[in-house]
Amino acid sequence: MSVETQLAPVSRRKPVSKPVLLFLTLVFGWIGVHKFYLGRFVQGLLYLLFAWFWMIPLAIALVEFIVYALASPARLEEKYSAHPLPAAVATLVGVLFYGTLAAIVIPVYIDMTVRNQVAMGHRSARAWQQAVEDYYADKRQWPKGKADLREGNTLSDSDRWSRASLGPNGVITVTMSDNSRIKGATMVLRPEPAATGSLRWDCTGGTIKPRHRIGACRSK
């Protein structure tokens, strides 16, 4: 054996810990941390890129979790070497990136949910508005209460997201119910006689924020 051969550095591979690999695959597999741990950096980057479509990388990671779980520790050590530092960095980057994304997306989602609930409440109040319009067209005066309305016995006071009530001068108040994200917030629908004898509705009043209302009910 030559001196050069004797002095040649021996390449040492860090053994793969099966419990660590299974944990990273199950918990952080959807962002490819397990691939960074195994030194498959290109595959790890692909996971990060496609993590937007979280169901796809998550499904693939679950399949890989089963494959790793069935493999023996000796087989894993034979096929892979561990890279803890890149895996830790990938975990940190993935958590920070998607944590920031969630901080942006979640409020937007909540706002969309609230706007939808308010729109449903406004739609439910449309039957009340029509009943007030019919009464005013016949009597040329405002109803004193629900009993005066032609559909008084069939008008629904509440739905899943809101409840409606009739006040003086034909004013309808829509109050968001306990099921909504803005419990107790109100939208006031105020009728105003038009020159043609019909009614137009001002729906900008109440405590519901303008951004949660339909476009026609936002303050100018």
Q: What is the DSSP string of 20-45?
A: HHHHHHHHHGGGTHHHHHTT-HHHHH
Which residues have a Cβ under 8 Å from the Cβ of 136 and sit 6 or more positions away? 142, 143, 170, 191, 193, 199
Q: Which amino acid is at 48?
A: L
Question: In Å, how far from its chain's centre is CA 20?
Answer: 31
Domain end (from 82, 101, 128): 82
CATH number at residue 202: 3.30.700.10
Provide the domain limits for residue 68: 11-82
Q: Can you give the pLDDT at residue 152?
A: 66
For residues 74 and 123, state if they share a domain: no
Q: Does some domain include residue 207? A: yes
pLDDT in tens, 58-116: 899 999 999 999 999 888 888 888 888 877 887 787 778 778 878 888 888 999 999 99
- Within a domain: 89: no
Query: Does residue 204 lie in a domain region?
Result: yes
The number of folded domains in the chain is: 2
Those residues with Cβ within 8 angstroms of residue 132's Cβ, 6 or more apart along the chain or in another chain: 142, 143, 149, 166, 170, 172, 191, 199
- Whether 93 maps to a domain, the answer reads no
**Could you give the CA distance from residue 118 to residue 124 in angstroms, rounded to a whole number?**
10
| The last residue of a domain, from among 82, 106, 126 | 82
Q: What pTM, to 2 d.p., does this model score?
A: 0.62
**Residue entry with tokens 């004193």:** 144
CA distance 76 to 173: 67
pLDDT in tens, 157-215: 888 889 999 999 999 999 999 888 899 999 999 999 988 878 999 999 999 999 999 88
